[in-house]
Amino acid sequence: MNIAFYAPLKPPDHPIPSGDRRMARLLMDALAMAGHRVELASRLRSWDGAGDDARQARLARLGDRLAARLLRRYRADPGMRPDLWFTYHLYYKAPDWIGPTVSRALNIPYIAAEASVAMKRAQGPWARSHAATLGALSQAKTIVALNPADVPALADFAPVRRIAPFLDAGPYRAAAARRDFHRRELAAAQGLDPAQPWLFAVAMMRPGDKLASYRLLAEALKRLAGRSWRLLIAGDGPARQEVEEAFFWAPPGRVVFLGAVSGGDLANLYAACDLLIWPAINEAYGMALLEAQAAGLPAVAGASGGVAATLRDGATGLLTPPGDAAAFAHAVGHLLDAPARRRAMGEAARAHVEAHHDLNRAAAGLDEILRAALTP
């Protein structure tokens, strides 16, 4: 089938990497793998982080114009007409101003994936965008939920189908097969002692929840300052100075800032390290947790949102109460003392991702959901 794909928060070809961009790309890949023709319908970024009603009104008008343009195009070229509209990640700060209009006009199913509802936004600066999001969800034939924590609120608007967060495990599997090589390379490049445990964290450095997670990470590791470990951090962004300042207590070389890392280099880093550590404050489910596990790296993470559906506590890593630096430090310290358990968890993590979170499985699940949506 022809699928019109739209990601209002951040288009899949946006220049700045993030988990949202990554999942948008993966969804398009999964739909294509299932045999569908997927077209990016629009690059309009509808995000309003400030609660500016005038901006929301302008975006709504722009969405109407873009919807009208798409409809003219589809009617002029029936071969381009979509059979279904698929919107990824809409919520009160990033509503879909385009898809519902096009879907109604063409009488095609509207599918919303990874949506969320915050009823407290019904009044206040985001009221217009909130109302648009509720309208889109009420029109949806099906809502696809990646985060199980979102399901109860979404079920009031349309039938909800769950798929697990996913990735293409192949590159991470290949990196894990060359772990010793990547560890030697990293040791030489960064002056690391291979006999020491290497902790790893990866996330954008931006204000808000990411910065809060970095600060909690620094607070937790300060409690383990007398232990043997090195921390490698992959990431960059506008809050980098604040992140570095959070580790002011660490002696030179104890924390290594690698900057932005992506693609195969990131897979190699996961494979080379011993433990991923991330407090995951207000994290939906954590793409980095999936990536790490796919490379055979166990993790310690805060149990926010849908993280517990991504990381199997006690089997592929350890979960700690959200925001609890002492509990996080205790979990990291426990695995620092248990190299055999870390290795066993890493093997279990890789098998878990292959069995439950791989791209092929997601493609089959999405295909089933979309074909059911086309059934009258």
CATH code: domain 2-166+358-373 is: 3.40.50.2000
- Predicted confidence (pLDDT) at residue 171 exceeds the cutoff of 90: yes
Contact 280, 191 (CB under 8 A): no
Give the per-residue pLDDT at 301.
Answer: 98
For CA atoms 99, 100, 106, 108, give the dihedral sign.
positive
Tens-digit pLDDT profile for residues 144-160: 999 998 999 999 999 99
276-297 burial, b for 16+ CB within 10 Å, e for fewer? Answer: bbbbbbebbbbbbbbbbbbbbb
Instruction: Provide the whole-model pTM.
Output: 0.91
Residue spans per domain, the chain: 2-166+358-373, 170-356
**Confidence category of residue 96, pLDDT binned at 50, 70, 90:** very high
Report the SS3 class of residue 242. Answer: helix
| Residue-averaged pLDDT of the chain | 96
d(C-alpha 196, C-alpha 309), whole Å: 30
d(C-alpha 331, C-alpha 300), whole Å: 7
Q: Please give the CATH topology (third level) of the domain spanning 170-356.
A: Rossmann fold (3.40.50)
Tens-digit pLDDT profile for residues 205-230: 999 999 999 999 999 999 999 999 99
Contact 220, 318 (CB under 8 A): no
Report the SS3 class of residue 49. Answer: coil
Tens-digit pLDDT profile for residues 273-319: 999 999 999 998 889 999 999 999 999 999 998 899 899 999 999 99
Q: Could you please report the per-residue DSSP string of 297-344? A: --EEEE--TTHHHHS-BTTTEEEE-TT-HHHHHHHHHHHHT-HHHHHH
Q: Is 107 exposed, middle or buried (0-12, 13-18, 19+ CB in 10 A)?
A: exposed
